[in-house]
Structure 1
């Protein structure tokens, strides 16, 4: 299972570890994914999604229905 947010498509970023001597080595910034259940009152059911912590904040702000609608528009959900 890849580490990608189910609603926003966020993936790992690549950057550098920088030492005190300014030596640079490649590293990966992983996404903070959480397995979370959401209740859909329109469909009267629960769904389980792997979403980023920042996506959970967006869902709390805008609502799950609005975020699902936007994810469908962006092509992350079929």
Structure 2
């Protein structure tokens, strides 16, 4: 399991810890990933994703998982999230036709 957010693509960053005496030691800054179950209103089912805490706030701010995925770029999404976005788009198109 990689240390990468499935919705925003946020991953591990590297940098230096700088002491008071200005000594630099390399370190890894890990994203704050949490396992969450989000519900898709259009698909009427729950989806388990591993997302960062910041992405979780963004999902709530945009009005839910469906609205977040509609605006998200495919390059940032994981394969699982891309398939979910495609399923939501298909369901919306079918509902618009009927």
Structure 1 length as normaliser, TM-score? 0.90
Displacement of 1:74: 2.6
- Unpaired runs of at least 5, structure 2: 84-98
Post-superposition Cα deviations, 1:38-76, rounded to whole Å, max 9, x if no partner, equal 1111111000000000000001100211212233x3332
Structure 1 or 2, whichever has the larger Rg, is: 2
- Judging by fraction of residues, say which structure has more helix: 2
1:48 — aligned with what?
Answer: 48
State the aligned residue count.
77
Judge conservation of contact 2:38–2:65 (CA < 8 Å) in 1: yes
- CA RMSD in angstroms comes to 1.2
Which runs of at least 4 in structure 1 moved beyond 3 Å after TM superposition? Answer: none
- Unpaired runs of at least 5, structure 1: none
- Judging by fraction of residues, say which structure has more strand: 1
CA distance in 2, matches of 1:59, 1:68: 9
